[in-house]
Amino acid sequence: MALLPVLRKVSAPASRKYLAAEGASVVVNYASSKEGAEQIVREITNEGGKAIAVQGDVSKTKDVEHLFAETKKAFGRLDILVNNAGVYQFGALEETTEDQFQRQFGINVFGLILATRESLKYFGPDVGSVINIGSTITSVAPPATVVYTATKGAVDAITRVLAKELGPRKIRVNSINPGVVETEGVHAIGLLGSDLRNKQSLKRRWVASANRVTSHPPSVFLASADSAWITGELLQVAGGLR
């Protein structure tokens, strides 16, 4: 089964549907948008898949422990962890506040560490796959994104460190680093059509894409036995903007 922490209200993306279609039971974590999480669950179950939604703030230890306990209660095991929870706030250096720093690092970095640490109690002895969601923003490095870019740089480093640390336990750790992905947050801050979006589109490197590696999205590929030989990789892919 697969556990996918997610913070923002989004419609069910192809990766979750493909994971469910491949037989994974999906646990959707949400912080505040119960409606959005339940919509994802409905879309999966309407297609014959298995899914539940569990509330929790991934930056809090007790919430993370509850999330994994509910996962085991519902499905009995854990095979895949997708660290997808993330927040962002852009602004000039002079506008950066302690609260912004704490919130973004708390969720984007510490939340990822907490979830991965807790997953060690639930992965079986044979195989486990941790899939982090990074960003190509670390290579584009646009102005006015210092805190968010720093959090995603940390995700890259954590991915490489934990791939080595957890490898002996047969747990693979990789990161999918997309370009700009269309979400409610992107619309809210006016990123569509902005210089940042254009720079990411121009400078983004297609190291690999879903079509080149597999007919499924990268998350499904990294969760599958087809990628059993891959760990510690930062897979840069195209974003979801059209």
Catalytic residues, by residue number, are 148
Instruction: Write the Ramachandran bin of 112: left for phi over 0, alpha for psi from -120 to 50, otherwise beta.
Output: alpha
Q: How far apart are CA 134 and CA 160, in angstroms?
A: 12
Cα distance between the two ends of the chain: 31
Phi, psi of 164 (to 5 degrees): -75, -40
Maximum alpha-carbon separation in the chain: 51
Residue 12 Cα distances to 36, 97, 102, 130, 153, angstroms: 9, 33, 28, 20, 26
Instruction: Give the length of the chain.
Output: 242
Q: Give the closest residue to 8 by CA, choosing from 36, 44, 40.
A: 36
